[in-house]
Amino acid sequence: MTKTEKVKFVIETLEDLYPKVPIPLEHKDPYTLLIAVLLSAQSTDKGVNKITPVLFAKADNPYDMVKLSVEEIREIIKPVGLSPMKSKGIYGLSQLLIEKHDGKVPQNYKDLEELPAVGHKTASVVMSQAFGIPAFPVDTHIHRLMYRWNLTNGKNVVQTEKDAKRLFPKELWNKLHLQIIFYGREYSPARGWNVEKDIITKTIGRKEILK
């Protein structure tokens, strides 16, 4: 199979399996999505979706969020882990949104990545899922699968993102990155992986990991 054929196979298989893909993190606007994505670092979407209704009942916008103390935020979000760093990030970014952006989440990478605790992946998710701007956020599932599928060298997520953007059509990025995440969770996990069920890796994967 050529690389072009592999890419076509991935797109078609994922479209058959996941014609519709819901956004995994529950939110109602760009701000609540930004907070949910920040909370999801080294945590599960399921865990985050349990916590956010409690947090957003108290504060679902930056103006209400800064009325809470960092400690109050931390107490609410403690179950998702990394709460000291995340609570400071949530408070700090809310403050900056008020000071610099009239309380609104900016629609560009530069301003998003200047917010406390917001890295490139978080910014990419917000650009893609909140604003519909083509982006290809690379999480651990996408990084793992792109390597297993021999579509990247797997050196780092920066390279994986570049390769994904180069290989896949731009108009598919926003849906495709979610389809890959769903596929990774269901058919190609890091642990307990059964390659017989993993049709994409079985068909186009690296020979060395299929042995």
pLDDT at 114: 97
Band (pLDDT 50/70/90 cuts) for residue 154 is confident
Q: Which of 60, 104, 139, 175 is catalytic?
A: 139
Distances (CA, A) of 182 to 17, 112, 159, 195, 211: 9, 26, 21, 16, 25
The pTM for the full model equals 0.92
What tokens appear for 200 in the block?
Answer: 């994409």
DSSP string for 100-111: HHTT---SSHHH
Is 111 annotated in the active site?
Answer: no
Give me the domains of the chain, ranges plus CATH numbers. Answer: 3-21+136-210 (1.10.1670.10), 30-130 (1.10.340.30)
Q: What is the pLDDT of residues 159-202, one digit of tens each?
A: 999 999 999 999 999 999 999 999 999 999 999 999 999 999 99
Q: What percent of the chain is predicted at pLDDT more than 90?
A: 95
For this structure, is 60 an active site residue? no
* Mean pLDDT score, 58-77: 98
Catalytic residue among 6, 86, 121, 163, which? 121
